[in-house]
Amino acid sequence: MGCGIMLTYPQIGIVAGVQGVLVYALSSSLPILLFAFVGPLVRKRCPEGFVLTEWVFQRFGYIPGLYLGILTILTMFLYMASELTSIQYLVEYLTNANGLAVIIVECVVTTIYTTFGGFHTSFFTDNIQGVMMTLLLVIVSIAMGTQIHIDTSYIKESGLTGSTKLGWQLFYILPVAVASNDCFLSGFWLRTFASRNDKELVISTSIATFLIFIYLTLLGFTGIIADWAHVWPGPDDEDSSLAFFMLVERLPGWVCGFVLIFGVALSTAVLDSLQSAMVSSISNDIFRNKLGNLYVRALVVVVMIPAVFVATKAPNVLQIFLIADLISAAVMPSILLGLSSWFYYFTGFDIIVSGCGGVLTVFLFGLVYYDGNVSSAGGLLLLQDGIYNDDWSAFGAFVAAPVGALLGLIGSVILRAAAMWVYCKSAGAPFAVFNRPVPELTELADMNHGEGGLEGVESDTEAIFYEQQPASEVSSGKDIKVV
């Protein structure tokens, strides 16, 4: 949790009230549990891996792995830019200083210690980050409770305690957006693979889910407090994303300084995690670990330059997150379905067609929704109007992305099977599109039931039965006789 949470969660408190805060906090915390259930499946199928893309390389091949790797790096780039944008807002609003200088110093410092310390350093700073986040919320909560006066007569009039159309829309938009996008963040996968065992993974994700929900709910309510205390929008009609900073500005000077220092520290802890994850992703996904670490880290330094540029030009932190969310909602469903043994016949071609189909469906939905306006349909792909608007455009986009992806997946499988059937008929070859592949030796050993031996396994073309042998001989690598 970086400095960006100080902008996005208070903003939803002002826009969607209590309902929006609780939905956003739950949508951001519960997906962490996804790694407790999906993580063991990926680790079992790819024990030598350390990020999701390594399993995709193994399961679907080089092109789909590269495809996911590029999208993963793009997502982390957008997260870097959003974090740098957030720290710029914090510094410039609380100090009136130029935030660009702070951004550059932060990038240089994190790059230096991450280069020397690697991901272990990122783990260490994350622990510090958790302590600092707790202190920040406790001290600011006490300061606000004693210094900020709420107009209780305005609470009902504000309408922030009731439900809204946007609040109900967010019940769908945010879980889909956050859950799918979390799967793109290599930092989460690095931690998943680094866990000692599955039990500790469940414990750690459960603790994280609880703490994140509490922290984000408290932050979200600062936006509601800013409205009830008539701090927002203020005389200058400030943007709702600045509500937390507007409250902090009215607190004693030492509290403002405390928030400033801790905000920079939180941003630094997130940025070094993204840098470490990007090093891993570039090395593994793009160069397949054939490029030296020094060169990979040099590439990350190069990437930081456009990240700083985008950060200084980005109009809204939330919009950057939403672009990454929409892409992941189109790409991730078919990849996660590939973990199931029921869909063994999925190929890399299907995965790529599915992702492209999801993005195309969003554009087609935009054409229909905006009466054929190509410009507005293209803008919907970038969610230029955000999700806090009084229409169904954003909701429709997040429905179209996964639905279009699944339709594209089904269409790809059907067309591929039809084309292969025509070819097999003309060539006199067996049609094997939906035949299960022969399991590897280690998988056969897992299929042994007690002392009874191995069950029959079908190949691509005919049934092969393995002579029953003790599991110890199979797992030790002794030859299996094929009858």
Domains in the chain and their CATH numbers? 5-313 (1.20.1730.10), 318-429 (no CATH), 441-475 (no CATH)
Instruction: Answer yes or no: is pLDDT of 481 > 70.
Output: no
The most confident of 263-267, 298-302, 382-386, 448-452, by mean pLDDT: 263-267
pLDDT attached to residue 464: 43
pLDDT attached to residue 401: 95
Rounded to an integer, the average pLDDT of 21-40 is 92
Instruction: Answer yes or no: is pLDDT of 450 > 80.
Output: no
Instruction: Answer yes or no: is pLDDT of 444 > 60.
Output: no
Rounded to an integer, the average pLDDT of 56-81 is 88
pLDDT in tens, 252-275: 989 998 898 888 888 888 888 888
pLDDT attached to residue 100: 87
Nearest-angstrom CA–CA distance, 300 and 427: 50
In this prediction, residue 452 has a pLDDT band, given cuts at 50, 70 and 90, of: very low
Those residues with Cβ within 8 angstroms of residue 80's Cβ, 6 or more apart along the chain or in another chain: 271, 274, 275, 278, 303, 304, 307, 311
Nearest-angstrom CA–CA distance, 90 and 97: 10
Instruction: Answer yes or no: is pLDDT of 314 > 80.
Output: no
pLDDT attached to residue 465: 43
pLDDT attached to residue 315: 62
Nearest-angstrom CA–CA distance, 272 and 275: 5
pLDDT in tens, 413-429: 999 999 999 999 898 88
Instruction: Answer yes or no: is pLDDT of 90 > 60.
Output: yes
pLDDT attached to residue 301: 80
pLDDT attached to residue 115: 77
Instruction: Answer yes or no: is pLDDT of 321 > 90.
Output: no
Rounded to an integer, the average pLDDT of 363-375 is 92
In this prediction, residue 440 has a pLDDT band, given cuts at 50, 70 and 90, of: low
Q: Tell me which H or E stretch contains 457.
A: strand 457-458
In this prediction, residue 407 has a pLDDT band, given cuts at 50, 70 and 90, of: very high
Q: Which range has the worst mean pLDDT, 21-25, 175-179, 320-324?
A: 320-324
Name the residue with higher pLDDT: 394 or 483: 394
| Dihedral, 166, 170, 172, 176 alpha carbons, nearest 10 | 140
Backbone phi, psi, residue 424, to 5°: -65, -35
Q: Which range has the worst mean pLDDT, 8-12, 182-186, 215-219, 457-461?
A: 457-461
Please give the mean pLDDT across all residues of the chain.
83
Buried b (16+ CB within 10 A) or exposed e, 316-328: bbbbbbbbbbbbb
pLDDT in tens, 237-254: 788 888 999 999 899 989
pLDDT attached to residue 47: 84
Buried b (16+ CB within 10 A) or exposed e, 239-258: bbbbbbbbbbbbbeeebbeb
Nearest-angstrom CA–CA distance, 22 and 167: 10
Q: Which range has the worst mean pLDDT, 115-124, 282-291, 467-476?
A: 467-476
Instruction: Answer yes or no: is pLDDT of 480 > 80.
Output: no
Rounded to an integer, the average pLDDT of 218-224 is 93
Backbone phi, psi, residue 432, to 5°: -125, 20
Is the Cβ–Cβ distance between 112 and 264 less than 8 Å?
no
pLDDT attached to residue 456: 42
Other beta carbons within 10 angstroms of residue 430's beta carbon come to: 10
Instruction: Answer yes or no: is pLDDT of 453 > 60.
Output: no
Rounded to an integer, the average pLDDT of 334-352 is 91
pTM here? 0.80
Rounded to an integer, the average pLDDT of 167-196 is 87
Instruction: Answer yes or no: is pLDDT of 54 > 60.
Output: yes
pLDDT attached to residue 438: 67
Rounded to an integer, the average pLDDT of 40-53 is 85
Instruction: Answer yes or no: is pLDDT of 320 > 80.
Output: no
Instruction: Answer yes or no: is pLDDT of 397 > 50.
Output: yes
pLDDT in tens, 119-171: 677 777 777 777 888 888 889 899 999 999 999 999 988 889 988 888 899 99
Is the Cβ–Cβ distance between 422 and 429 less than 8 Å?
no
Rounded to an integer, the average pLDDT of 472-480 is 46
Express as a percent the part of the chain with pLDDT over 90. Answer: 32
- Burial grade of 341 (CB within 10 A; 0-12, 13-18, 19 or more): exposed
Rounded to an integer, the average pLDDT of 46-68 is 87
